[in-house]
Amino acid sequence: MKGEFKMKKRIIAFVLMLCMIFVLAGCSADENPEKYVELQRYDYFQVDKTMVEVAESDVETYVWSQVHDFIEFNYIEEGTLKYGDAVTADFDVLVGGESVEGLIEDYTFVIGSETFIGNVEEMLVGVDVGETVTITERYPDEYIYGGLAGKRAEFVFTIKNIIDIKYPELTDEFVFENTGYANKEELFAESRAFLERENLSDVVWQRILGTATVKSYPQAMVNRYVDHQIAVYQDIAKENGMSFKDFLEEYYGYTKAEFRAALEERCLESVKEELVVRAIAKEQGITLSEEEYLADVNASYAEYGFETPEDFIAEYGENNIKVNLMLRKVLDYIISTCEYID
């Protein structure tokens, strides 16, 4: 566990996830994707229903995410920690007596969520609120951050509180008044249907990507994607008060050139995804109107934490957002041709 930097990595992971969806475009592949990628069959799939089934626990998690604003979080400054508790703690990580990155304050996590390495969380069970405890654990040999692989570390926690989470009662009346659904049954049914569609999208998309062949990667597209990711990491370095060079060396053990080469390799799959999207859209005559684009931006900007549609567009770029929307339309077409089998 890398403390604050691990929290930063979560932000980075989210940003990179968006990058893989809002894949960078703007080169000749826009008009001639078939020059770069060869498609195999991508429609009229037969899909086994068991491949898209959703666990009840996943449905419940998704339902609660939709009514998150009505969940109460009470901070209790007494008690003993047990498995499954949500807690707030200050902590530091020491290797050879040296702090890895300084004290991390007011960090919230769930015991058992595998936020920390090894058995660190399990060792917190039975600790009292207000207590300071040191837990020794060894970083896995395959740990890739900060040169910590295989090293023993001391995790020093001061437990500040236990978070008592109170969920509202999901009555039909509550659901009708506070969601877009008529009753609890509809909320769960629509949530399950949404998650099943997500599973189906993943199944068919992986089939398509698995059979598509990239003949060559347009370097302009690769460069734009890599440049965007580098800009993200540069911002993270700046937020941590570090030069980009020092940031890469300390947390990844890379020079700038090595880091760029690693990013180029990692982005190729995302470039392939964009090429496949563009090729299918061109072959099927799937287009995106300006009205559709503007409607989606106006419906989405607040969900992504932006105050205005203009801020949202400035962050991700008009063309990138349009690529994402085209991906949705391509998946809609593919799914419409699927046949379920028992």
- Distance (Å, rounded) from C-alpha 274 to C-alpha 20? 9
Q: 322 with 227, same domain?
A: yes
User: How far apart, in Å, do the first and last CA atoms of the chain sit?
Assistant: 44
Q: 220 with 335, same domain?
A: yes
Helix (H) and strand (E) counts for the chain? Answer: 10, 10
The rounded average pLDDT for each run of 10 residues, N- to C-terminus, in the chain (342 residues) is 36 39 44 90 84 92 92 95 96 92 91 92 96 95 83 96 95 94 96 93 90 94 88 88 91 90 91 92 93 93 90 81 89 89 76
pTM over 0.75: no
Helix (H, G, I), strand (E, B) or coil at 71: coil
Q: Is 200 contained in some domain?
A: no
**Which of 103, 135, 166 corresponds to the end of one domain?**
166
What is the structure's pLDDT at 29?
Answer: 61
Q: Is 138 contained in some domain?
A: yes
Q: 84 with 31, same domain?
A: no
Q: Is 13 contained in some domain?
A: yes
Q: 317 with 241, same domain?
A: yes
Q: Is 207 contained in some domain?
A: no
What is the structure's pLDDT at 30?
Answer: 61
Sign for the pseudo-dihedral over CA of 250, 251, 254, 255: negative
Q: 20 with 92, same domain?
A: no
Q: 157 with 227, same domain?
A: no
Q: Is 253 contained in some domain?
A: yes
Q: Which domain holds residue 295?
A: 8-39+212-341
Provide the number of structural domains found in the chain: 2
- Distance (Å, rounded) from C-alpha 131 to C-alpha 108? 16
